[in-house]
Amino acid sequence: MQNKKIALRLIKDRLFSTVLIIISSFSVVPLGFILYFLVVKGATAINLEFLLSGPNPYGEPGGGIAHAIVGTLILILLAAVISIPFGLSIGIFLAEFQKSKLAYWVRLGVDILQGIPSIVIGIIAWSWIVRPMRAFTALSGGIALALMMLPIIVRSTEETIKLIPTSIKEASLSLGVSYYHTILKVILPSGISGIVCGILLSVARIAGETAPLIFTAFGSRFMNLNIMKPVESMPLLIYRYASSPYRDLHTMAWGASFVLVVFVLTLNIVAKGVCKRWCIKY
Amino acid sequence: MVHKVLMINDFSAYFGKDKVVKNITLAIEDSKITAVMGPSGCGKSTLLRSVNRMHELNPNTSVSGSIVLKGNDIYRMNPILLRRHIGMVFQRPNPFPTMSIYDNVIAGYKLNGIKLTRQERDSIVEESLKKAALWDEVKDSLRKKGTFLSGGQQQRLCIARALAMKPEIMLLDEPTSALDPKATAFIEELIVQLKKTVTIVLVTHNIAQAARVSDYTAFLFLGELIEFGVTEKIFTVPSDKRTEEYLTGKFG
Amino acid sequence: MIQDKINKLKEKLITAASIVQMMIEKSIVGLTEGYSDKLFEVFRHEKDVNLMEIEIEEMCTNVIALHQPEAKDLRTVLMIYKINNDIERIGDQAVNIAESSQFLIERQILKLTNSLPHMARETIDMIRDSISAFADNDTKLSMQVCERDSIVDKLHENIIHELIGIMINDPKTIERALHLIRISKNLERIADLSTNIAEDTIFMVAGRVIKHNVES
């Protein structure tokens, strides 16, 4: 009787693990399908002209997405320059003053920010920056994206610093090093892998955002390096070309999607690699 | 005349309303090892951390009474400057994980922006590592990261780092609790050698260690100084009944 | 750390032992050669030996309290404590010999055979060898010392016999004879104490108890 019960349990165990494995395998399938489609539909569009030149005048075949690639990079750079200092500072504050009242409210604020839909952030950026300036600018797009990057950087910085043992901080303080120098020269370098990892992941997050850019960077048909003017980005371009009636624009949209996904995937893999290889053991 | 490096006068330390160190008066003698022992929670670590004003880095703390280091009231000094004259070694070895062994030893100078010539740096590193009995083991791998050393070696590196600042006094907070017996014995021998060059205050919960290593012993219980005296006397004929009970294992 | 302290203890003990050995020799020489200044030196040395006994006791207590010695170290410290005691007693016996010698050289020497100097020689050899064995951790030599105790006992018996004969013959010699018996008794006692030292040395080195005829 006992043996029968045990045998039944063992079977249930085996069944459970098998189901877990099957379900998990299924989750990889959509990714595989997406990549397959992108390669099949988009690879044909990719050639040197595609990557290196801007759009041709209306109606003419050919042209490329160089202006969108450059635009995306400009927006990422702007967003990073704005969000990294703020994100690091807030992350350090939350890790160092965990129990204070201010920390509670700041943490709450950051969590709320993380939950705001991207289109709403776009609208807010429009009314705070685009309206007063009376112009669509890359700067406003960068600010909108920075708002989206901020919570991720704050979270990963806070968690990384919390993991650093207090004994390291105490060692520095006991040598007569000021608090400010201790954070900058000892704590931050010790957590560099986690912090960089967080930054790369936040960039990967916003690289494909479209909604916040619709009312801010707006998009443009020209290659533009001036941040006070509107600028094209990859997701915006994909949206516009895919919704247009022209077949060759659709192909270009597939090509751009492929490039974008490869970019984001690479960022993710590099972030994981950084986290592992630069990780400092205590 | 016997020289007292550190005078603790009617000193108390608080965590909020909690009086953790109660009106302690103690004099630490130059070039000697003074052990502070007592059961867990008796305030010995708090007392030690008050000497280099690390206690006040915790939130909601306060102190009363005075501590005088070589004639200077430490609470009238700049705490950062004070800590540069006092070396501290902690329970868990804590070399800086991003720095090499070489950089760890002179970390006190580097992090404080004190400029040194290449020659000065090299000589400080060699001298400190020799004093910490670690030079022979690491002299060929000074550029390697400090965290690749064994526990005992890491702790000696921390001792070298503290010694490099040429402190007036060294505070050791249970320096061997995280180490294996062999490393512990090595460091105990090292501490006895070190007292020739620097005064040492050693907090330990290991009674036998206090007996083996120290010249003077202070026994703390529930924040109060119960007894203080020459180690040999305390361990053979203690004056206070509570000291006797602690040593014979009746509590703690 | 503990090894240094134990070595210092051993050295101090050996020093005390060599002083008492010297005291015995001087008291016998004082008797046989008639030098009373030698006997006064014996009385002076006694003070030093007493001070050293107290010092060595304190050192032993400190080593046990501060270093918790184990195994051989523990046996060494405990035996040093005991041997220290015995050496002080040997010193007392040497003083007794000197006192009796003092009395005798102020009067006419009794005619005795060689037996007393012979017994003194044997006794001095025993104490010298027992301390030597202690210093060198030599259990063989210690066993030999134990065996020689019976020789000294025999010599003591012979001397008493001889002196009884002399006392019966001439009652005027009784006072001097009694002092000689006392000296002989003191020497016999010193030999016993040397045997103790040898037995303690064997326990210290090998952990074997051979006293009270508990042999292994």
A28 and A109 within one domain: no
Residues of chain A with Cβ-Cβ distance to B94 below 8 Å are 165, 167-168, 170-171
Residue recorded with tokens 């030698």: C38
Q: Are residues A154 and A238 in the same domain?
A: yes
**Is B235 close to C66, i.e. CB distance below 8 A?**
yes
**B19 to A267, B9, B66, B192: CA distances (angstroms):** 54, 16, 16, 33
Query: Which helix (H) or strand (E) segment is C163 a member of?
Result: helix C139-169
Across the interface, of B88, B147, B161, the residue whose CB is closest to A281 is B147
Give how many domains chain A has, as a whole number: 2
Q: Work out the percent of chain B whose per-residue pLDDT is above 90.
A: 87
Q: What is the CATH number of domain C2-213?
A: 1.20.58.220
- Per the CB < 8 A criterion, the answer to whether A47 and A111 are in contact is no
Least confident of A18-22, A184-188, B134-138, C109-113: C109-113
Whether B98 and A99 lie within 8 Å, measured CB to CB: no
A145 and A33 within one domain: no
pLDDT tens digits, one per residue of B9-36: 999 999 999 999 999 999 999 999 999 9
List of chain A residues whose C-beta atoms are within 8 Å of the C-beta of residue B201: none
Q: Are residues A14 and A130 in the same domain?
A: no
- Nearest chain B Cα distance for residue A187, angstroms: 9
Q: Which domain holds residue A185?
A: 50-277
Poorest-pLDDT segment among A263-272, B190-199, C130-139: A263-272
Establish if B204 touches chain C: CB-CB under 8 angstroms. Answer: no
Instruction: Check if B142 contacts C (Cβ < 8 Å).
Output: no
B83 vs A175: CB contact, 8 Å cut-off?
yes
* Chain-chain contact of B212 with C62 (C-beta, under 8 angstroms): no
Q: Note the pLDDT tens digit of each residue in C161-183.
A: 989 998 898 888 888 889 999 99
Give yes or no: residues A60 and A37 share one domain. no
% of chain A with per-residue pLDDT over 70: 97
Q: Do chains A and C touch (3 or more CB pairs under 8 A)?
A: no
Q: Which residue bears the tokens 């539909």?
A: A41
Select the residue from A99, A174, A196 to test the B interface by mutation, using most B Cβ atoms within 10 A: A174
B103 CA: distance to closest CA in chain C (Å)? 33
Q: What's residue A272's pLDDT?
A: 86
pLDDT band at C214 (very low <50, low <70, confident <90, very high): low
Q: Residue B83 pLDDT more than 80?
A: yes
Q: What percent of chain B has pLDDT over 70?
A: 99
Confidence bin at B252 (pLDDT 50/70/90): low
Sheet of strand B61-69, all strands in order from the earlier edge strand to the far edge: B18-29, B4-15, B61-69, B72-73
> Is the complex ipTM higher than 0.90?
yes
Q: How confident is the model at residue B49 (pLDDT cuts 50, 70, 90)?
A: very high
Q: What is the pLDDT of residue A59?
A: 62
Mutation to test the B interface, candidates C66, C67, C73, most B Cβ within 10 Å: C66
Q: How far apart are CA A30 and CA A26, in angstroms?
A: 8
Q: The tokens 């240094």 sit on which residue?
A: C4
Q: B211 contacts in C (CB within 8 Å)?
A: 65-68
- B92-102: average pLDDT: 93
User: Given this model, what pLDDT does residue C208 score?
Assistant: 82
Q: Using only C-alpha atoms, what is the Rg of chain A?
A: 24
CA A95 to chain centre: 22
3-state class of B5 per DSSP? strand
Summarize the confidence of residues B241-251 as an average pLDDT: 87
Q: Is C9 exposed, middle or buried (0-12, 13-18, 19+ CB in 10 A)?
A: buried
- pLDDT tens for residues A112-149? 999 999 999 999 999 998 888 888 888 899 999 999 99
Residues A209 and A132 in one domain: yes
- A14 and A112 both lie in a single domain: no
Q: Do B189 and C1 touch (CB under 8 A)?
A: yes
Q: How many CA atoms lie within 13 A of A27 on its CB side?
A: 5
The verdict on A6 and A118 lying in the same domain is no
Q: Looking at CA atoms only, how far is residue A94 from chain B in angstroms?
A: 15
Does B212 contact C at CB distance below 8 Å?
A: yes
Domains of chain B: 1-85+171-252 (3.40.50.300), 97-166 (no CATH)
Check which CATH number belongs to the domain holding A241 and give it: 1.10.3720.10
Q: Could you say which of B81, B94, B147 has the minimum Cβ distance to residue A171?
A: B94
Interface B–C counts its CB contacts (< 8 A) at 20
Contact B235 C68 (CB under 8 A): no
Chain B contact for C61, CB < 8 A?
yes
- Residue A282 inside a domain? The answer is no
Same domain for A34 and A58, yes or no, is no
Residue C216 has pLDDT above 60, yes or no: no
Cα nearest neighbour of A172 on chain B: B108
Quick check: B215 pLDDT over 70? Answer: yes
Partners of chain B (3+ Cβ pairs below 8 A): A, C
Same domain, A19 and A126: no
Q: Is the pLDDT of residue A151 over 70?
A: yes
CB contact under 8 A, C61 and B236: yes
Quick one: what percent of chain C has pLDDT higher than 70?
Answer: 96
Is residue A68 pLDDT above 90, yes or no?
A: no
Buried b (16+ CB within 10 A) or exposed e, C132-158: bbbeebbbebbeebbebbeebeebbeb
Confidence label for A31 from pLDDT (cuts 50, 70 and 90): confident
Q: What local confidence, expressed as pLDDT, does residue A258 receive?
A: 87
Phi, psi for residue B136 in degrees, rounded to 5:
-60, -35
Task: Please provide the average confidence, as pLDDT, over all residues in chain B.
Answer: 93
Cβ contacts of B45 on chain A, cutoff 8 Å:
none
Q: In this predicted structure, what is the pLDDT of residue A265?
A: 87
Between CA B158 and CA B87 the distance in angstroms is: 10
Task: Over range B188-197, report the average pLDDT.
Answer: 93
* Same domain flag for A35 and A56: no
pLDDT at C212 over 80: no
A153 and A234 belong to one structural domain? yes
Q: Per the domain annotation, does A91 fall within a domain?
A: yes
Give chain A positions within 8 Å (CB) of B82: 176
Mean pLDDT of chain C: 90
